[in-house]
Structure 1
Amino acid sequence: MSKGKHRKKQKISISFLVILLLSVSFFSTGIIIGGQLTKIPHSQTYKAEPTQLTSNLTPDEQRLASKIDQLLQKSDYIGSIYVRKNNRVLLEKGYGYANLRVKESNSPSIYYQIGSIQKAMTALLILKQIQAGKLTFDTKLAEFYPQIPGSQQITIKNMLYMRSGLHRTASPDKPMSDSEIIQFALHHLKLTDYDTYHYEPLNYTLLTGILIKLTNQPYETLLKKEIIRPLHLEHTDFYDNVKNSPQHAVSYQMSATDDYSKALIEPETDIRNELGTGNISMSVYDLNKFFTSVLSGGIIPKELLFSLWQNNGDKHPYSGGVYSG
């Protein structure tokens, strides 16, 4: 993002993590970018995961790392980056301030809100239930929520692909419990265009409700039991649990002339409303560990995983929390 005259409109920069793939293969080369921002007092140094030193890079790897680094600096990027190719770390670096007030620099080893990447985790929990024989992709929504219009034809797969045709008509105006959020969603939805893709988080709120019904466990308990603990994700937690940690990212509002115009606090209502859809925080290292483990069959057998995470030929190839086109 350039400064000065190129930054005409006020923008808001929220903590996030993004995965970019650099090759045709889904497994060979990946960039995990985290941004933005946290504070880590010098007295509370955060220990990074061990990685291979970038000093051992080949000339081609050095050129690639340098090109990415220069691109981010030129773009005035604020946040962190972690680049790995064939299990070799090419670049791991922080850009800009994690906290302007204390002049703390960014680092790839702190918590960032991962936003909608959490939907991939919710999808994996659904796959776990399919693996256990409690669901199929063709199970109808009516088995769990018969009061929803169209539920007799809407399938689990429709919801995973965001092709249910369901849309939320309102959002909560106060913090709610998980069960209250699901009940609110059930009373504030409509069916418009079945089997047509629309990005609608409501699908994953309802999938979360189904998980709770099937397992008789809170979503947070289930996610920790099935994903966080088995993968040893030591720097992954629900935002509410770590939002006040000195190791959690801070978001800033950006003005036309100032990257750090105002520190932002996300309303509790908004965070609570992201049940199963976007209220997890992770370090860049944990996000890398998560996808590496999942893609190697560490949580779900590959055959089942890629029956969901595949290019479905759709113009909008959204498949179980990831874009697979």
Structure 2
Amino acid sequence: MRLALLLASLIAAGSAHATDATQNADRLMQKYQGEVPGAALLVLKDGKPLLRKGYGLANLEEHAAVTPATDFRLASVSKQFTAAAILLLAEDGKLGLDDSIRHWLPSLPPSTDKVTLRQLLSHTGGLIDYEDLIPPGQTAQLDDQDVLRMLSATPRSYFAPGTAYRYSNSGYVLLGLVVEKASGATLQDFLERRIFKPLHMDHTLLYVHDDPTPDGSSVPNRAYGYSKTGGRWLRTDQDLTSATRGDGGIYSSIDDLAKWDAALYDDRLLSDASRKAAFSPHAKVTGEPYEASYGYGWRITGDTLWHSGESIGFRNVIVRWPKQHLTVILLSNRNEPEPYRTVLKIAEPFLHPAPQS
């Protein structure tokens, strides 16, 4: 009898804690609720969703609500997938992480001879940001070949390769092109065949701007990006740099990202050695507002592995606490607020339950 009462008490306490933690999350997500650009939130503990919810709207014009199946542009959260593609090809023996980027992309200037794939993965290659090379008056979206052409005509760099850290979208665009050279497939097809399909991420894709369905209908349940201007939300879904791929072109949902998260705990996709390489600190992050080291497509802060993603009209973050087997993912189709601090606050009661009296 006493044991039954004790078990009932523990179950009730656990249920009360879960309710409190969920209510805390809902309070923190209030800004995303209503007839405004919204967000999708997922809290995973031991592989199970403790909170899986959509807030606000994915499409203001059509009043389409955000759901757990809504596909958001991941922006730089995409980089962990590009890094995984490089690691898979290294496992296949198709490339080496210490290969020169110029070995794969020989149009680059001789100054890049000593820039390695490993350095590009950790943002230590010193390449010039392609955003700073866009010609004045450019109106057409840039694609990866445009980026390669601009970098090929730019012999200067920020620093000698391997000597410093500077976050580089240029590097990840080039890594995407290396995936194509080494695999013989397009980047979108390689990601589909080697990552999305095996993990049953059935609604995730790398968006290609010259897709035959220019209205974006190739993206299922698509969220469109918005920015607040003069007190009004205006659609700002694409800009000049929204068509590059390896640095930020993937669309996905919290439901599909739950499958990605699960695969990062075992060898169903990447070997233990590859996962260890991705999650190890290779460079100290500088020039960014958060204290962190950088792995391959992941920032590392204390016990967390995380990455944010920002592009015009989207702000996203995934934060993983592998030791606690907890992950929180927040995807939003708006230019503000930046969600990293919100996610840390959402995670707090799941990480540190309040003592029950």
Single out whichever of 171-180 and 299-308 deviates more from structure 2. 171-180
**Aligned: 1:159 with 2:131:** no
Partner of 2:336: none
Aligned-pair CA distance for 1:106:
2.2
**Aligned: 1:204 with 2:167:** no
Among candidates 235, 238, 242, match of residue 266 of structure 1: 238
Q: Would the alpha carbon gap of residues 293 and 68 (structure 1) be closer, same or farther in structure 2, given more than 3 Å must change? A: same
* RMSD across aligned positions (CA): 2.8
Q: CA–CA distance in 2 between the matches of 1:190 and 1:313?
A: 22
| 1:98-113 equivalences in 2 (<5 Å) | 98-113=58-73
Q: CA–CA distance in 2 between the matches of 1:131 and 1:59?
A: 46
Amino acid in the other structure paired with 2:276:
F
Aligned-pair CA distance for 1:305:
1.6
Partner of 1:236: 204
Partner of 1:320: 296
Q: Deviations over 1:34-57 (max 9, x none)?
A: xxxxxxxxxxxxxxxxxxxxx996
Q: Deviations over 1:272-297 (max 9, x none)?
A: 2x221111111111112112213322
| 1:1-325 equivalences in 2 (<5 Å) | 58-73=15-30, 78-145=38-105, 147-168=108-129, 169-171=132-134, 173=138, 174-175=140-141, 178-188=144-154, 190-194=156-160, 195-239=163-207, 240=209, 243-244=216-217, 247-255=221-229, 257-258=231-232, 261-267=233-239, 269-272=240-243, 274-312=244-282, 314-315=284-285, 316-325=292-301
Matched-pair contact (CA < 8 Å) for 1:149–1:191: no
Q: CA–CA distance in 2 between the matches of 1:176 and 1:105?
A: 31
SS of 1:310 mapped into structure 2: coil
TM normalised by structure 2 equals 0.67
Q: How high is the sequence identity, in percent, across the aligned residues?
A: 22
Q: CA–CA distance in 1 between the matches of 2:102 and 2:220?
A: 45
Unpaired runs of 5+ residues, structure 2, are 1-11, 286-291, 302-357
Matched-pair contact (CA < 8 Å) for 2:188–2:205: no
Q: CA–CA distance in 1 between the matches of 2:90 and 2:198?
A: 19
Q: Would the alpha carbon gap of residues 102 and 203 (structure 1) be closer, same or farther in structure 2, given more than 3 Å must change? A: closer
Q: CA–CA distance in 2 between the matches of 1:68 and 1:189?
A: 49
**Number of positions where the alignment pairs a residue of Structure 1 with one of Structure 2:** 267
Matched-pair contact (CA < 8 Å) for 1:161–1:319: yes
Unpaired runs of 5+ residues, structure 1, are 1-54
Q: CA–CA distance in 1 between the matches of 2:120 and 2:38?
A: 34
Aligned-pair CA distance for 1:160:
0.5
Q: CA–CA distance in 1 between the matches of 2:156 and 2:274?
A: 31
Q: CA–CA distance in 1 between the matches of 2:63 and 2:142?
A: 36
Q: CA–CA distance in 1 between the matches of 2:190 and 2:145?
A: 15
Matched-pair contact (CA < 8 Å) for 1:83–1:91: yes
Aligned-pair CA distance for 1:150:
3.4
Q: Would the alpha carbon gap of residues 166 and 313 (structure 1) be closer, same or farther in structure 2, given more than 3 Å must change? A: closer
Matched-pair contact (CA < 8 Å) for 1:57–1:90: no
Matched-pair contact (CA < 8 Å) for 1:163–1:196: yes
Q: Would the alpha carbon gap of residues 289 and 57 (structure 1) be closer, same or farther in structure 2, given more than 3 Å must change? A: farther
